[in-house]
Amino acid sequence: MSRNQVSKADYYEVLGVTREVSETELKTAYRKQAMKYHPDRNPGDASAEERFKEASEAYQVLSDGDKRAAYDRYGHAATGAGFNGGGPFADAADLGDIFGDLFGEMFGGGGQRRGSRVQRGEDLRFDVTIEFEEAVFGKETEVKVRRRENCATCRGAGTTSGRGPTVCATCQGRGQLRYQQGFFSVARACGNCGGTGTVITDPCTTCRGETRVMREFKMNVKIPAGVEDGTRIRYSGEGEAGRFGGPRGDLYVVLSVRAHDFFERDGVDLHCVVPISFPQAALGAEVQIPGLEGEVTLRIPEGTQSGKEIRIRNEGVPHLNENGRGDLIVQVLVQTPKKLSRTQRELVRQLADSMSVENKPASRNMLNKMKDLFN
């Protein structure tokens, strides 16, 4: 027995069954494994593809009475080169039968099954640009949207005579064509009929058999207060009309919010920067600053340092679809005057002298700490 055969997993363990498993139980177990690990459901997943191959190999052996008896007696030695080596059990024709039996049910690929002509309409996306204040407080606006509507000439049937569609000659009404790709048997929708199994031979002159025509319509879009940039508003059933009586798709209005010159938004909070003078920072003050709904009062505490953030409650953005609002967070920056008058210069010098006397011990302590740090 080769090293490769020794390392192969037991077929019964691969399918999660006992050695006394019946034919029906075996088929059910394989169906579960195949549905879970099929490459079409796990694109790019090498591990899933390998598990799928192992399950297919195990089922191919255990579903055949003679092969199963040989495997029960001799193990993997009875399978020759095994799944990857093209041994006696790697018969592509047999595997094609398995695929046709099982995956026709699981993935709609059965030879006798065809797709439904009834199709849901496509979803639409419509981009709307709004101002910063409109996003905060909401608005209602009218938009013009182009979408496919049922053809009025044929009433969505797609034919002129009203006879209806005929059986597709390419797939013989199955709606699918099966291709053999190496070891795998793959079923794909028929390109001639789009997987429906039927074609229109006398198309409507207005819609050319498409059953729908492009139309423009107007609708009111209500934008709630508190939306953000990139918010999607879904309007169910306002997308394109479905084909052959199918339901409409949905319309998604995607919002783009313009930036504000003064405020920046962080969730439901607003941020801004306000310059203040040194006397206001040192002595404290109350100043009026712009708000989204008019001026608001900013209370500056005595001894405020440059860069400090002051929070003004309930002056931010309303919570979307909820009560309450965020806050306005103001960062104050203390400005140093670039030019002083003679009187102002003298006053500042007097202030500096008084502060140097009062803070001299503190200044010495700070100087000593800096010396210790750099030494």
Nearest partner of 21 among 76, 55, 52, 63, judged by Cα: 63
| Distance (Å, whole) CA 337 – CA 280 | 13
Is 195 inside a domain boundary? Answer: no
CATH number at residue 214: 2.60.260.20
Per the DSSP assignment, residues forming a β-bridge with 185 are 180
What gap in Å lies between CA 368 and CA 375, rounded to an integer? 10
Q: Are residues 13 and 68 in the same domain?
A: yes
Q: What's the CA gap between 309 and 325, in Å, rounded? A: 19
Q: Residue 226: inside a domain, yes or no? A: yes
- Give how many domains the chain has, as a whole number: 4
- The count of other CB atoms within 10 Å of the CB of residue 204 is 22
Q: Does residue 81 belong to any structural domain of this protein? A: yes
**Quick one: angle between helices 65-74 and 46-62, nearest 10?**
100
Same domain, 52 and 129: no
259, 285, 318: which is the final residue of a domain?
A: 259
Same domain, 134 and 249: yes
| 148 and 79 within one domain | no
Contacts of 201 (CB under 8 A, 6+ apart): 165, 166
CATH classification at residue 53: 1.10.287.110
351 plus 227 within the same structural domain: no
Residue 298: inside a domain, yes or no?
yes
Same domain, 362 and 250: no
* Two structure tokens written together for 317: 């953005």
Is residue 247 domain-shared with residue 272, that is, in the same domain?
no
Q: Same domain, yes or no, for 59 and 97?
A: yes
Domain co-membership, 128 together with 217 = yes
Domain extent at residue 67: 3-106
Q: What is the pLDDT along the chain (375 residues), one digit of tens a residue?
A: 443 444 578 889 989 999 888 888 888 888 888 888 887 778 778 888 888 888 888 888 888 888 888 888 877 776 654 444 333 333 433 444 444 444 444 444 444 444 456 788 999 999 999 999 999 999 999 999 999 998 888 888 888 876 667 888 888 888 888 876 655 677 888 888 878 788 888 888 888 888 889 999 999 999 999 999 999 999 999 999 988 778 999 999 999 999 999 999 999 999 999 999 999 999 999 999 999 999 999 999 999 999 999 999 999 999 998 899 999 999 999 998 888 899 989 988 888 888 765 555 555 565 566 556 555
| Burial zone of 205 (CB within 10 Å; 0-12 exposed, 13-18 middle, 19+ buried) | exposed
